[in-house]
Amino acid sequence: MSQVIPSLSKSLNSSMGQSFLDQIPNIALRIYRSINLDDTLQTTVDEVRQLLKTDRVLIYQLDINATGGEVVAESVGQAWQPLQGVKIDDPCFITSCAQRYTQGKVNQITDVIHNDISPCYREMLMGFQVKANLVVPILYDGQALRSLDLYLQGIDTQPAKPNRLWGFMIIHHCAEARDWNPLEIAFIQQMTAHIGLTVQKTKLRKLSERLIDSSTDGIIAFDRELQFITWNSAMEKISGVTRDTVLGRMALEVFPYLWQIQEDRFFLQALQGKNVISSNRRFPFHPSDNQQFFEAYYSPLRDESEAIIGGVCILRDITKQELAQQQLAQAKRHAEAANQAKSDFLATMSHEIRTPMNAVMGMAGLLLETQLNGEQKSYVETILQGSDSLLALINDILDFSKVEAGKLNLENAPFNLRNCIQEAHSLIHLNAAEKAVNLSYQIDPQVPAEIISDITRLRQILVNLLNNAIKFTPQGEIQVRVSSHAIPAGAIALEPPQHRLEFAIRDPGIGIAADKLPLLFQAFSQADSSITRQYGGTGLGLAICKQICELMEGQIWVESHGNVGGEAPPDFIPQQTDGATFYFTIQTAIVAVDDIAPAASPMPE
């Protein structure tokens, strides 16, 4: 009758047990030294047959369906039938014991003729000349293997299968019936456990090789002597060199030019434990093609103890990206050159036009002071108004061209901030008076009275924004408010102290539609094309303000009806007010802090 392995505590003949144990270390050492699965299997069956003094020991590997299998390793005495390579497809062998084998249980038969076993099993064993039989399952941990295998197939989830039955070690005693003692069984179980680990490592290695071969990047590995030990399929395609040609050979022997282009230093850095990247390299794998660009990632290869045993290189073909970048860089250079030519042309033409325009305006002004009748005076005033608009346009184009060409330089000098605002008000006071629009300003108490900045450019921003506000405000009050925030000195104190000034120009006008806000600060654009016809302007004013703000280390944005356009700070909260409020900031140094501005100063009529 089939029996499950007896308890190891069963008493043994002490002299026989000691002799058996004395042989195990040397046998185990010879088995563990085997370099691959085939060697491990053959060494194991040879050593086990000799130790157990039995007639046949074989390794039986199950097929995929686990309904049959094949003898893949065997050690057999000359008097008995060899079974190496024999396929055994007998359902009765597996179906009655499959669950027990998966649980790691052993099946031992001491007498095939007299033990209670199934007829089909007895018939099969007797056909192989077997009188006594010992079957020990070979199991391995299938969870990690299944996870990796399903990953390669693109499957994310899988049921847990911790133990999988790979096959069996089977011992046949053919001459006569035989008892199997616990020490023998324990030794065989230890050997099958080692085989199971070897099977798992072999499967992991094969799955890893599949993973490496599935990569579109070239993957190579080398040992400490710079000999290639891995060369995947993608590397064969990239280089035109097969793995059989390179494996076991030194890198510099196969590719001497690695030394000439100093690529060998990256190999050595990987052996030193460094992760390094070799970018935009040209490897002359194909001498006729000099247009290939590669990026190589080097890293150390470590064993289980974290000792460095070699290096790994992942080689990526970046030819398309590199050529695209080169074309993009060339297009950028051409665009910058064209833009520079445009800016130079506009600046030159603006200068050339402004000179005669000033002459026309001067002569028209003189003509206006002569004795003219009403009709003549109207004609001259029209000439002056048109000339003034044209000159403003020319000045805008000139300023814009200077900024684009990088020729607009700031002139930092100390000045009184309140005076600057009042001067800006004075310049547009007549325009405001014509529409009965009031102008006022408010400077917060903490704002420095004297600052160091470019008064001309600051006044230009204020005038531009105030003119815009007047243009779109039929009536009401336009207010300028100034606040200040000290800039922390950090590790090194700034001399003189730095402040960030924030200006807000608020008007109660028509406001700006939300979908038009993104266009406001772009050159030659306005919120609506009808604005040019109704209010005039070039669409350059706000773009120039933005560029000057950036030169003064600030930013500009607008809020209208709760919608925001431009570059508002992250902590900015819209006010949900009517009309529009333009904000801009500049960074400035402080001259004196004892001149405190009043809380509010309305513009006199």
pTM score above 0.75: no
What residues contact 181, with CB distance under 8 A and at least 6 apart? Answer: 10, 12
Give me the pLDDT at residue 478, please: 94
* Whole-number Å distance between alpha carbons of 391 and 569: 35
Give which of 283, 287, 295, 286 is closest to 322, Cα–Cα. 295
Q: Where are the alpha helices (DSSP H) in 225-318?
A: 233-239, 243-246, 251-254, 257-260, 264-271
Sign of CA dihedral 489, 494, 500, 501: positive
Cβ proximity of 164 and 137 under 8 Å: no
Backbone angles phi, psi at 462, to 5 degrees: -60, -45
Mapped to the 3 state alphabet, what secondary structure does 455-466 carry?
HHHHHHHHHHHH
And the tokens for 173?
């005693």
Q: Which amino acid is residue 13, in one-letter code?
A: N
Domains of the chain: 14-212 (3.30.450.40), 217-317 (3.30.450.20), 332-404 (1.10.287.130), 413-602 (3.30.565.10)
**Cβ distance 555 to 501 under 8 Å?**
no
pLDDT tens, 84-118?
A: 888 877 656 555 677 788 888 899 999 999 998 88
pLDDT digits (tens, 9 = 90+) for 220-261: 999 999 999 889 888 888 888 898 999 999 998 988 888 888
- Cβ partners under 8 Å of residue 567, min gap 6: 555, 556, 557
The single residue listed with the structure tokens 């005693």 is 173
347 closest CA partner among 399, 398, 406: 398
Sole residue written with tokens 């004795």: 371
Compute the distance between CA of residue 277 and CA of residue 256 in angstroms, rounded to an integer.
20
Note the pLDDT of residue 7: 37
Output the pLDDT for position 400: 72
Find where tokens 């330089």 sit. Answer: 409
Closest by alpha carbon to 472, among 437, 509, 506?
509
Low-confidence ranges of the chain (pLDDT < 50): 1-15, 148, 151-152, 156-157, 491, 529, 532-536, 593-605
* CA 104 – CA 141 distance, rounded (Å): 12
**E strand or H helix at 208:** helix 182-214
